[in-house]
Amino acid sequence: MEDNATATIDGLPFQLRVRQQPLQARMSGFSPKDRRPLDPTPIVELVPLEGQLNDFTNLVVQATLSNVDCTPYISTTHNNMTGCPIATCNYLLDDQGNKGYFFCFADLAICTQGEYRLQFHLFSLRRPKVLASLYSDIFIVYSPKSFPGMKESTPLMRSLARQGERVRMRSGRD
């Protein structure tokens, strides 16, 4: 499975990659009060292969739920993914102090246990077409009784949170 995709934006080549893969989640309820986000927070990064973007404010990434075999997940009874599936581009420092274009999905939750992938689609709000797409690794959604618990926040999440990015922090040290 490809772990990155290339795109051309304003004539400059870029690579889209999943910087932080989701690994697990506790099965979520359908109400916002019972939302259990993916752990860790999925984070997509747009990496310039040459040059820098002058205007990144019009870039968004949309996440959609897919089966393990990369086919679209289709439910006939309900929407299995809740939360905000759109992330805007933020120019921030990563945990190593390097500047980057990041898209964070801190509010995505899955309502049915099983194994899934996310598909990420990069769009420019100025153009009505997908510029690049890629899939996450496989992650597991557990029933409430079998969920092993949330992991501690990653260094990348802590770095982005210190700069104002809204990500869910875990552990008393965060």
Q: What band does 172 get if pLDDT is binned at 50, 70 and 90? A: very low
| pLDDT higher at 4 or 93 | 93
Q: What band does 45 get if pLDDT is binned at 50, 70 and 90? A: very high
Task: Give residue 2's pLDDT.
Answer: 58
How far is residue 58's CA from residue 9's CA, in Å, rounded to a whole number? 11
Share of the chain above pLDDT 90, in %: 61
Give CA separation, 168 vs 50, 79, 165, in Å: 32, 23, 10
Task: Give residue 171's pLDDT.
Answer: 63
Residues 6+ apart with CB under 8 A from 16: 4, 5, 6, 7, 44, 45, 46, 47, 61, 120, 122, 132, 134
Task: Give residue 173's pLDDT.
Answer: 43
Task: Give residue 79's pLDDT.
Answer: 82
Alpha-carbon Rg of the chain, whole angstroms?
16
- Select, from the ranges 62-66, 73-77, 128-132, 159-163, the one with the highest average predicted confidence (pLDDT): 62-66
Q: Is the pTM of this model over 0.85?
A: yes
Q: What band does 4 get if pLDDT is binned at 50, 70 and 90? A: confident
Mean pLDDT of 118-146: 93
| pLDDT higher at 147 or 55 | 147
